[in-house]
Every structure is written in structure tokens, then in C-alpha cells.
Chains A and B, each alone.
Chain A
């Protein structure tokens, strides 16, 4: 910089230096904060993996628990894994059609005020605590009829709905209007255009939303405590009765004093964590893939 810099620049130099210091300080704080977020995830994964991975064995996944076990009987949690599979699967089957229809209505048919209102409602639904949903389903379904896998699945389906609907709305919005016009211009009714042209473009996105929602609710405990927690130890698949689930099993086992039970809880937690990590990453991969595909179609 030359000495002949205009006076107005020189006068600002003091303040400029101060700003520079503040800027660097804030940058440093932000830079330090970033690893905290990643670090917490790392810490959780590491501690669960450390305690759980060593306890993992095939029996855990394939054998049911043995009540009043004496000695070193190898116990499993197969009933919880089976129940989680049934309940989460059922919940997905319940929520997908409703979520997709909600999204189609919001993006393809609703007028703007209705669209905004429904969008807000979905956001609010996302924020409702799981335990509130649990009590709601308990009052609606369980009281009088008793617990069942269906009730548990219904509670999870309510939790999943906004995720599926939001994800579907997002991909529907990515479908270029020129495709809709192409079909409508042929004299094809709107609903046929939606079903035959628009929705097939969004399957990738819908699957992504479904997988994300599964990852989100697979570990939900609160709603299942109300709806599907009074269970036996045998492996059961019939959702007409209450089924054991992985998160509820973890919760119950961790309450027991027996170190063997605690160990199984850690192992189950580890399995759950791996499942959620894998599905979340899978959803991300699917989302990127379908977005790339839609991008190609739009060109």
C-alpha cells in the first residue's frame, strides 16, 4: 500500500483494525463450535459402540429372552427385533399413502392460502412431542381395547406423517411445470397427469422421505410405552397383540439391576444406532440420486 493513500482511508484504520480483530475472534468461536456438534455425535456413537459392540452376538438377534435365567444362559432380544420390524413396517404402510395424498393435495390442487395452512400444520405436527402422540393414541385406541401392535404402529404412523408429506411436497415442487403442461395440453385430466406423469418422477423422493421417517421413529419409545409394552418373552409377529420393540426393550433392560441385562441393553442400542445411521445415510444417497435425475428431466 502506498503512503499516499487518501486521508479518508487512513482515518478509518483504527476502526478497521478493531473490526478485523472482532471478525477473527468470531470466526475462531464458530470454528470451535463446529466440532462440538460433530463431537457429540462421535461421543454418542463411540460410547454406545464401546459398550454395545462387544456384547453383540448372533443369539441376541435370534433368541428370545429367558425369564429367571440361571447361570450363563445366552439370552437374546429376538422378540424385540421382530416386534420393531412388524410395528415400523405397519406404520410405514399406514403413513405412506396418507402422506403422499396430503402432499399431492398441497402441491397440485390446493390454493395458496390452503397450501400455506397445511404446510404450517405439518410443521406443527413435526414438533409435537412423541409422548403427546402416545397419550393421544392411548386415549383413542388403547383405552377399552387394550394394547396392540396396531396401536403402536398407528402412533408411529402419526409421527412419520409430516416427514413423508414434507419430503413428497419437496420433490413434487421439483417436477417442472412443463411436464404437467405437456400432459394437460393433450387433454389429459389433471388427476391422470398427476398419477401418470408427475408422481412417477417423485418416487425416489418419496422413498427417501419414507426411509428418513423410519429412521426417525425406529427409536421412539414414549408412544410405544402406552400402546405396545405389556408383552411376553416369546417371539411374536401378530400385531393384534402387544409386541415387544427394541427401544422399549432397551428402556426396560436398563432399569434392571442385573449387569447382564444392562449389557444386552447396550448391545440392542448399538444395533438400533447402526440401523438408524445406515438408513439415514441411505436416505441421503437416495435423495441426491433422485434430485440429480429430476434435474436431468428438467433440462
Chain B
């Protein structure tokens, strides 16, 4: 990416925000009620209730250990894989409780994709990274076209179109993460969850990913965990602030403090803890 296009993108990122319609007019994707989660006997999240809306970027911010990652991993049953993990409460996805025991976690993840903190491409070729999910999920019609579209949407096509057969591990960190995004959106999920997707990347790669969110949110709903408040302010329409609460016996758990339009969270938060956090007095 050339410097001028980077600058151009920066400007576009910062001027692109449109005012949010009132919440009643937004379509709900997730309706989360009283979500409580624990690893073993250690509670990590208590009583989280919030809604996530369609075609928006929803950011989850908060200090380390506030349960942001745990929360987002509940949304596509990724925590099922962790031994000793338990959760309570309901997570309605378009009305259906996906936290229920009889729900097929594989089907949930099929619709609700995930991009992880560290780029984790398969040790296969660039093309095969995107093709893998498509093949397994039976989306074999127009395979090459789907691969190209996904890589284009992830703003990676121009950089890799001449070396699709090269190993994905030969890409830079930022390219690898965009490949992971391409891989996730290739299978046409409805929601894409991102767990600190830019935390291992340099500023330019971060910029590219943020730009991507803006361009793709008309097609997908994004929930993004970030420890970078500026990033939340730049990319998110809605922002949820999580914080750590301490019990009488020193136990700690994360909880949702405030959830509102990003603008409001960063300029006029209604909770003192949110204000302390976003103004940098804590966390």
C-alpha cells in the first residue's frame, strides 16, 4: 500500500461516520440476557444484558481481565472447547437461544464467524486458506470466484493475486490477518466476531483492517473486542464498556458497565467508571 493511499484512507475513516438511527429502528442480531460465565469455579462474567444490531460495528472495550474475550467467545460457542467452562443466561440470535444445550455449536459457528487476536492462517497456500472452509461447507460452486471475492473484500487480492499458491505463512502479519478475515467472510457468515484483531499488528496494517470494517459492515454485522479506545472510537457505531468488579472476598469478575452509541460513550458517558476509563484515568 502506498503512503498516499494510506493517508487517503485515514481521512476517509475519520469522516465516514453517519448518525445512528434510533435504536428502535435497528434490527437486532443478538439479544443477550443475564449472561454469566465461569471457567471452573472462577466467575469471569456476571449478568451481561445487551443487544447487538445488524450492519453495525459493535465494539467491546474495557481493561484486561474484564471478560471481553470470554464474552465474544460466548457468541459463537467457542468456549465450548474450553474444559470446565460454564455459562448461564440466554443469547438470542434472531430470536433463537444459541446458548441452549441442544443447539449445534458447529452450526452456530457456521453463521457466526470469528477472527482471532493473533493471525492464525493454516500452514497451507494462500488460496487453500480461503478454499478450506468453502470446500468443507459444500460451497464448491464457483470456488475460484468466491476466493477472489473474499480476498478482494478483505483488501488483499491485489497483493496476493500473483502468488495464490505461495504459503500463507510467507505473508506479513497484517496480510495474514486480512487473509484470516477473507477466510472468515468467504463462507458468508451473518456476523463476524473479532477478538482484538489488530493488537498484534503495526499501525498501517491496523488502518487497513479498520477500513475493511467500514466497507464490509453493509453486508455483515461486526462485534469487535479491542483494548485500543481510539480504535473503538474510529470504527464502532455502538460501544460496550466492560469493567472489573470485586466481591467482598477479593473475587473478581467482569461486567457490563455501559452500552450506548460510540459517540455518547466517548463524549458524554453516563457512568463515572466509563468516564474514568475513556479519559485515561483508569485502565
Contact = CB atoms under 8 A, between A and B. Distances in A.
Interface of A: 111-112, 176, 178-190, 192, 196-197, 201, 296-297
B132 A183 contact: yes
Secondary structure at the A interface, as helix, strand, loop or mixed, is helix
A14 to B, nearest CB: 49
Given A178-B118, A182-B122, A188 B169 contact: no
B184 A181 contact: no
Contact of A187 (B81, B106, B120, B123): B106
A255 to B, nearest CB: 54
Contacts of A196: 132, 136
B26 to A, nearest CB: 26
Contacts of A296: 123, 169
Interface string B105-139: 01111110111101011110000000011001100
B238 to A, nearest CB: 23
B183 interface: yes
Contacts of A178: 116, 118, 120
B113 to A, nearest CB: 6
Interface in B167-204: 169, 180, 183-184, 187, 189
Interface of B: 76, 78, 81, 83, 106-111, 113-116, 118, 120-123, 132-133, 136-137, 169, 180, 183-184, 187, 189
B136 A192 contact: yes
Given A179-B120, A186-B110, 18 more contacts: A112-B83, A179-B123, A181-B81, A181-B120, A182-B121, A182-B180, A183-B122, A183-B133, A184-B109, A185-B76, A186-B113, A186-B184, A187-B113, A188-B106, A192-B136, A196-B132, A296-B169, A297-B123
Contact of B106 (A181, A182, A189, A197): A189
27 contacts: A178-B116, A178-B118, A179-B123, A181-B78, A181-B114, A182-B121, A182-B180, A183-B122, A184-B78, A184-B109, A185-B76, A185-B109, A185-B113, A185-B114, A185-B115, A185-B116, A186-B136, A187-B106, A187-B107, A187-B111, A187-B189, A188-B133, A188-B137, A192-B136, A196-B136, A197-B132, A201-B123
Nearest to A296: B169
A176 B108 CA distance: 23
B138 to A, nearest CB: 11
Most B CB contacts (10 A, CB to CB) among A179, A182, A190, A296 go to A182
Contacts of B180: 182
Contacts of A190: 106
B71 to A, nearest CB: 16
Contacts of A187: 106-111, 113, 133, 137, 187, 189
A22 B109 CA distance: 63
Contacts of B108: 187
A85 B162 CA distance: 47
A179 B118 CA distance: 11
B137 A184 contact: no
A111 B123 CA distance: 27
Contacts of A297: 123, 169
Nearest to B183: A186
B253 to A, nearest CB: 24
A160 to B, nearest CB: 28
A296 B167 CA distance: 12
Contacts of A186: 109-110, 113, 132-133, 136-137, 183-184, 187
A262 to B, nearest CB: 53
Contacts of B106: 184, 187-190
Contact of B122 (A184, A192, A197): A197
B78 to A, nearest CB: 7
B181 to A, nearest CB: 12
A179 B183 CA distance: 13
A218 to B, nearest CB: 33
Top 9 nearest A-B pairs by Cβ distance? A187-B110, A185-B114, A186-B133, A178-B120, A187-B109, A297-B123, A182-B120, A188-B136, A189-B106
Nearest to B187: A186
B132 to A, nearest CB: 7
A181 B133 contact: no
Nearest to B186: A186
Contacts of A181: 78, 81, 114, 116, 120
Contacts of B133: 183, 186-188
B184 A185 contact: yes
Contacts of A176: 120
Contacts of B118: 178
A190 B80 CA distance: 12
A36 B7 CA distance: 70
Nearest to B82: A177
A13 B180 CA distance: 64
A122 B75 CA distance: 39
A194 to B, nearest CB: 12
